[in-house]
Amino acid sequence: MIRILLAEDQALVRQGVKMMIEQDEQLKVIAEAANGLEAVQQIETRLVDLVLMDIRMPVMNGLEATKIIKKRWPHIKILMLTTFNDDEYAVQALKDGASGFLLKTAERQKLIDAIYSCINGGMTIHDEVAAKVVPRLLERTKREPVTVPLTPRELAIAQLVGEGKTNKEIAETLHLSVGTVKNHITQILQKLELRDRTQLAIYAIKHDLV
């Protein structure tokens, strides 16, 4: 079972999203929050696998909450769920450690698929936003050559992470076991002094691996 925290300031929206995702018996909304601060407080007392995080909320917005959660609980996946398709939000969310950015207008199955993708280590960005995100990332970061020595295998894996592939998809592409892929990613993160695979994806774009 995937334990989900739903952070959204509108109760009716929370109810609708909860009904949609719980049609999948493997997904369970174990807690709800009306703002970012409540989301952080809920995580302090519950085991959470993934947070569905709205951006514009009172008290503490979703971007601020994402920074705190990823710093204190880096294993928790965060999927931004919002009505705003502004690429600026998406770029900031990814830089803060979110695993994806999805519009609330997305179809139910797209939301379900995004949740599973995030849990499995992938990155999901709504189609309306994706075309804008990479150019904005490139605007903000000077493209540089890879200076840390990565093996050919590690470079291939970093490239696939940058393309948003899950561990399973990377394993199938490179004919490796999922466990081997996980080990390689851990080694890559250590070599590059990165926090998580989202930062690795950004690194891959910045350094022309994608």
Does 102 share its domain with 17? yes
Does 79 share its domain with 61? yes
Q: What is the pLDDT of residue 102?
A: 85
Q: What is the mean pLDDT of each run of 10 residues along the chain (210 residues)?
A: 96 92 95 96 95 93 93 93 70 82 86 90 70 57 62 91 86 94 93 81 73
| Number of domains observed in the structure of the chain | 2
Decide: 79 and 117 in contact? Cβ < 8 Å: no
* Residues 6 or more apart in contact with residue 176 via CB below 8 angstroms: 170, 184
Give the residue from 135, 164, 184 where a domain finishes: 135
Residue 123: which domain range? Answer: 2-135
Does 173 share its domain with 128? no
Is the dihedral angle over the CA atoms 185, 186, 189, 192 positive or is it negative?
negative
Q: What is the pLDDT of residue 45?
A: 92
